[in-house]
Structure 1
Amino acid sequence: MCRVERDPSVLYLAAARSCGQRTAYVERPREWGTVDKPEQREPLDAYHTTGMDDLADQLVADNRVADGPRPGAW
């Protein structure tokens, strides 16, 4: 499960973790426009990434997904 906001998704993320899902936080440094947004690592998230490509790279490196498209994928 990948979160895109800190609250109230925290409850959904806790529920996902309790079911064995691994969670990721994807940084969005320009969410607040030109003002730098502080990004904080959530210790319970399995991944902290700078974007979806970075998340994909981390998942492949962690052997959580196979290289290439899965059958039935878009």
Structure 2
Amino acid sequence: MHHSEQPKSGHVLIGVDTHKHVHVAAVMDTIGGILATMTIPTDTGGFQQLADWAVSFDVHVEGPNVPRRSRQRSRP
């Protein structure tokens, strides 16, 4: 599921509600507006989808399990 809006402030963050079989992520602006949501499976492909999706919002993605290609596309 995808839902998108324009940010009402200059910064965004992503929160992830983790579960055994799926994760649900939401992109929020700094005043609490939900800009987009996404549900992904808890496998390698799902994690890649989440990392690519986060980068599309110009969010810096870090972590030992983040695929290198997603980290390279994120801003410095």
Give the alignment's TM-score, normalised by structure 1. Answer: 0.30
